[in-house]
């Protein structure tokens, strides 16, 4: 992407090696102030062939939000942003390129064709609060708004029941 020189990358690789290799190189870039969080997310998305989108100020129609139950969105840390009814295609944003479980489960359990895009962590948190806090229990809203990094997880059975209740009757 042209942001870091070859020398800076090698310097960070040396630091990573000195730390035993347990720290991701992107975290070292952030720590040294060589890049910001958005630049890291854009690079990680590009590496995985994903598009990065800025969702700040994006207004998602309620019928799109309704495609993913609140418990599913918060458990998997995703927000739907587009839905194509003709193709049954759902576009979701997430903040972790390794979050394959979310897209796989949406495909398998809810029957969507899913396209995942990356966004930054703060924007995703704000979107989860904006679109799902009203429909969730006050306890889960309180946990999320407390600034805690706790992620509410659900069992596959609960996810399946929630997903099935969102499917149209046949």
Higher pLDDT, 139 or 114: 114
What fold, for 62-166? GMP Synthetase; Chain A, domain 3 (3.30.300)
CA 8 vs CA 4, 28, 139, 165: distances in Å: 6, 11, 45, 52
The 10s digit of each residue's pLDDT in 72-105 is: 999 899 999 999 999 999 999 998 888 888 889 8
Question: Domain map of the chain by residue range?
Answer: 6-35, 62-166
Give the DSSP per-residue string, 48-83. TT--B---TT----HHHHTTS-HHHHHHHTEEEEEE
With a pLDDT cut of 70, the percent of the chain lying above it is 77
Give the contacts of 94 (CB within 8 A, at least 6 positions apart): 76, 77, 78, 102, 103, 116, 117, 118, 119, 124
The 10s digit of each residue's pLDDT in 36-81 is: 888 888 888 888 888 999 999 899 999 999 999 998 999 899 999 9
Strand order in the sheet with 78-84: 78-84, 89-94, 113-118
Residue 135 binned pLDDT confidence (cut-offs 50, 70, 90):
low
DSSP conformational letter for 169: P
- Strand partners of residue 91: 82, 115
Largest CA-CA distance found in the chain, in angstroms, rounded: 61
């Amino acid at each position: 992407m042209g942001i870091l020189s070859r020398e800076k990358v090698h310097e960070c690789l040396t630091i990573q090696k000195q730390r035993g290799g347990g720290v991701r190189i992107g975290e070292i870039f952030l720590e040294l102030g060589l890049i910001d969080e958005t630049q890291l997310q854009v690079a990680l998305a590009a590496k995985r062939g994903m598009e990065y989108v800025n969702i700040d100020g994006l207004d998602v129609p309620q019928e799109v939000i309704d495609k993913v139950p609140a418990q599913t969105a918060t458990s998997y840390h995703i927000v739907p942003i587009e839905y194509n009814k003709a193709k049954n295609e759902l576009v979701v944003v997430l903040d972790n390129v390794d979050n394959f479980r979310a897209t796989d489960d949406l495909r398998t359990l809810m029957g969507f064709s899913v396209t995942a895009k990356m966004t930054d962590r703060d924007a995703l948190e704000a979107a989860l609060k904006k679109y799902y806090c009203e429909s969730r229990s006050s306890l889960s809203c309180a946990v999320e708004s407390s600034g805690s990094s706790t992620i509410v997880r659900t069992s596959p059975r609960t996810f399946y029941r929630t997903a099935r209740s969102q499917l149209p009757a046949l």
